[in-house]
A and B are shown apart, each in its own frame.
Chain A
């Protein structure tokens, strides 16, 4: 793994620093401005002291969420959801501004960042239709970053084949369906498998894209994506404990890179319960260190530990300039901020 890293570093683009600003200097600078206005620990401390939603709204309006939040009517029924929707709207506005100022490679990069949201939206709508919910309600629950044109017509599909051929073939998600079509009807289980297949294809595609971009982007995004691949592998392994998913099925859902590839993934696929999963992880760094920290503090769940590690990676990525990793890191940090709110 260490040798891989060194090899990647030595193939960096020599003129990267001198030519990055040609196309992407302005957009990166705007992004760093956005990152500077993320909520800090002082803001969170103030907000924790709030007695009711009115105070919270007042504090939020002093931050960058300012004028959008002041339109929310506090006395109403769904104030919490409305507040969060306002904040999400602000985030989406920022993202779309970045995307419309970006050109070429950066534009494609931002498109690829949207795809996990698209995948989530597709799965949401299809599972909502299985439970006979109305499409307009489902569309409201979709994440705005993942909207694409044909999304409303997803509701008509009856099985995966139709889903693919009628709707998804023209969207950016189309190419992730190759090789994973089956004639089964859409049930809950198969939806989860479909979601994980799509994620796997997307991560591998993204990794290939970042490798092609090269230079510091490849280095930074490589770290992020292999962590993401590991995280998905751990999630799939722990969620499929006790289900009838076979070892081979599980392995086919794991990505073909990451620090757990290939031996860790083989072990994870064969793990039968949570303890075995933890045992497998304790052989791999940095997971062994993280697990040691977790066992010191009993309340931490493995999800939180992994989120903490991911955010550390995000902070580190901002210490380097002239790469696209900061965009991905900002998206992650903003989403965490929205979850915190």
Chain B
């Protein structure tokens, strides 16, 4: 019964959802991370103004999460091509597969950048506070942020590999 339901849902719905999630969730993660870092940075910079320029790196790492989402969404969107429904009223397996692949790809990059953004945000906030007290700590905590930022990168790589198999025509 469920198979019947899913076979008749248009694969273009899945594809559109995938594109939307790719950019929507990534930007949510990046925004979350930026406010986490930014509020601490602004407060800590009151007493230690020297930290402002270096700690913008944390904000840039958060931003990268959003950029990964944009790239993936654009790639996914270019994959979607209009193919009419088959003569027997059923979508062909190839099109169904392509729709699911775009959806999965978008979800993959969206979720991984969501959590990556939060992670980099929390670490960036601690980095700003620590840098304000003792400037030797900055580079050491930055290494943690780099590892956190790699999570988003993993998401993009896998998403692009998945979407490579999504061929509508």
Contacts and interface: CB of A to CB of B under 8 A. Distances in A.
Given A21-B35, A25-B36, A32 B125 contact: no
6 contacts: A18-B121, A21-B36, A26-B39, A26-B40, A30-B47, A36-B133
Contacts of B98: none
Interface of B: 32, 35-36, 39-44, 46-48, 118, 121-122, 125-126, 128-129, 132-133
A25 B122 CA distance: 11
Contacts of A37: 47
Contacts of A17: 122
Contacts of A36: 47-48, 132-133
Given A18-B36, A33-B47, 9 more contacts: A18-B32, A18-B118, A21-B35, A21-B121, A25-B36, A29-B46, A33-B46, A37-B47, A321-B125
B44 A33 contact: yes
Interface in A146-175: none
Contacts, number: 61
A179 B43 CA distance: 43
A26 B48 contact: no
A27 interface: yes
Q: What are the 10 closest A-B residue pairs judged by CB atoms, nearest first?
A: A29-B43, A33-B47, A25-B39, A26-B43, A29-B44, A30-B43, A29-B40, A21-B39, A21-B36, A26-B39
Chain B contact residues: helix, strand, loop or mixed: helix
Interface of A: 17-18, 21-22, 25-30, 32-34, 36-37, 321
Given A18-B36, A21-B36, A29 B118 contact: no
Given A17-B122, A18-B118, A32 B35 contact: no
A34 B47 contact: yes
A37 B128 CA distance: 16
A25 B47 contact: no
Contacts of B35: 21-22, 25
A16 to B, nearest CB: 10
Contacts of A27: 43
A28 B32 CA distance: 18
A21 B48 CA distance: 19
Contacts of A28: 40, 43
A107 B39 CA distance: 17
B100 to A, nearest CB: 31
Contacts of A22: 35, 39
> Which of A27, A29, A37 has the most C-beta atoms of chain B within 10 angstroms of its own C-beta?
A29
Nearest to A64: B47
A321 B39 contact: no
Contacts of B128: 29
Nearest to B33: A18
A22 B118 CA distance: 12
A321 B43 CA distance: 14
A79 to B, nearest CB: 29
Contacts of B43: 25-30, 32-33
